[in-house]
């Protein structure tokens, strides 16, 4: 587009740019900016935002009231509102305390030396000590679980065919 206008068009663009340059003095600004339009847009944007937020706040309050109206009212009978115990016999009256006791007993067993079967000579050691021993000595290699052929691959067996008509 600038190529078709030639040199005269380019000189006009430079002249326009020179007239719109900042004067440099305090309080002066570029004449291409419309300060009144920018301020009006900002004020309108703030007003619209305020109206939208007010509508959302009112709707949330309305939804909360409708939700509370749908909930059933509690029964006036005290025994319906109170905590109910399971029927007799109550085999475990305090499950939390029982679980804590079980865990402390297991931790004591896992962290101490002792006999599992003394006549057979089977004992136990703490888990940390067992980890240290395995790290120092390593594990034995496990034997293969499938039979291997001399060629190095697993053996294949054929299934017998089922009797019946051929398709």
Q: Does pLDDT of 75 surpass 60?
A: yes
**Residue 117 — φ and ψ, nearest 5°?**
-145, 95
What confidence tier does 41 reach under pLDDT thresholds 50, 70, 90?
very high
Confirm whether 145 is domain-assigned: no
Confirm whether 91 is domain-assigned: no
What confidence tier does 2 reach under pLDDT thresholds 50, 70, 90?
very low
Q: Residue 110 CB: number of other CB atoms within 10 A?
A: 13
Q: Does pLDDT of 149 surpass 90?
A: no
User: For residue 85, what pLDDT is reported?
Assistant: 76
Q: Does pLDDT of 48 surpass 90?
A: yes
Q: How many domains does the chain have?
A: 2
Contact by Cβ (8 Å): 104, 95:
no
Confirm whether 65 is domain-assigned: yes
Q: What is the mean pLDDT of residues 159-163?
A: 68
Q: Does pLDDT of 44 surpass 80?
A: yes
Predicted TM-score of the model (pTM): 0.32
Confirm whether 159 is domain-assigned: no
Q: Does pLDDT of 1 surpass 50?
A: no
Q: What is the mean pLDDT of residues 60-89?
A: 80
Distance CA 37, CA 66 (A): 43
Contact by Cβ (8 Å): 9, 2:
yes
User: For residue 87, what pLDDT is reported?
Assistant: 81
Confirm whether 109 is domain-assigned: yes
CA distances from 30 to 3, 23, 40 (A): 28, 8, 18
What single-letter DSSP state applies at residue 146? S
Residue span of the structural domain in which 127 resides: 100-137
* 114 bridge partner residues: 124
Structure confidence by residue, pLDDT tens digits, 100-137: 999 999 999 999 999 989 999 999 999 999 999 999 99
């Amino acid at each position: 587009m600038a190529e078709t206008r030639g040199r005269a068009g380019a000189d006009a663009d430079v002249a326009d740019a020179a007239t719109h340059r900042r004067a440099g003095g305090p309080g002066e600004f570029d004449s291409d900016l419309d300060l009144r339009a920018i301020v009006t847009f900002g004020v309108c944007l703030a007003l619209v935002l305020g109206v939208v937020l007010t509508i959302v706040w009112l709707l949330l309050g309305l939804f909360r009231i409708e939700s509370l109206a749908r909930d059933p009212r509690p029964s006036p009978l005290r025994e319906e509102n109170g905590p109910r115990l399971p029927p007799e016999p109550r085999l475990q009256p305090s499950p939390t305390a029982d679980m804590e006791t079980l865990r402390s007993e297991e931790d004591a067993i896992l962290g101490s030396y002792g006999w599992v079967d003394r006549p057979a000579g089977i004992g136990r050691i703490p888990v940390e000590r067992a980890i240290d021993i395995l790290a120092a000595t390593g594990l034995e290699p496990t034997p293969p679980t499938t039979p291997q052929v001399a060629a190095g691959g697993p053996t294949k067996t054929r299934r017998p065919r089922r009797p019946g008509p051929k398709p």
